[in-house]
């Protein structure tokens, strides 16, 4: 019976890590999509500011990607615990 509890505990840990990684990827996709959409709206309103808007969009997207990679690494560390 104790072996079953240990196996179930490990399985739930892996499941939680997989769900966490999936949510991180979905969140990053939504965030980057939102950033891109808002940047396109801003460029449509002020075409002369395209360079500034593009550079700010790239920085914001990189920050979102960094947070997503951090969340995936934490999920992997939980999985290999």
Read off the pLDDT of each residue in 13-30 and give the average, rounded to a whole number: 91
The mean predicted confidence, pLDDT, of the chain is 91
Domains of the chain, residue spans: 2-79
Give pLDDT, residue 3: 77
Give pLDDT, residue 5: 78
Least confident among 11-20, 31-40, 66-75:
11-20
- Write the pLDDT tens digit of every residue in 54-70: 999 999 999 999 999 99
The CATH H-level superfamily of 2-79 is F1F0 ATP synthase subunit C (1.20.20.10)
CA atoms of 53 and 42, how far apart (whole Å)? 7
24-52: b (≥16 Cβ within 10 Å) or e: beeebeebbeebeeebeebeeeeeeeeee
Give pLDDT, residue 22: 92
């Amino acid at each position: 019976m104790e072996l079953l509890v240990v196996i179930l505990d490990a399985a739930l840990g892996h499941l939680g890590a997989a769900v966490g990684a999936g949510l991180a990827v979905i969140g990053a996709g939504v965030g980057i999509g939102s950033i891109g959409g808002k940047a396109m709206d801003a460029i449509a309103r002020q075409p002369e500011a395209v360079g500034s808007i593009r550079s700010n969009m790239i920085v914001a997207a990189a920050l979102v990607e960094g947070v997503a990679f951090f969340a995936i690494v934490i999920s992997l560390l939980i999985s290999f615990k």
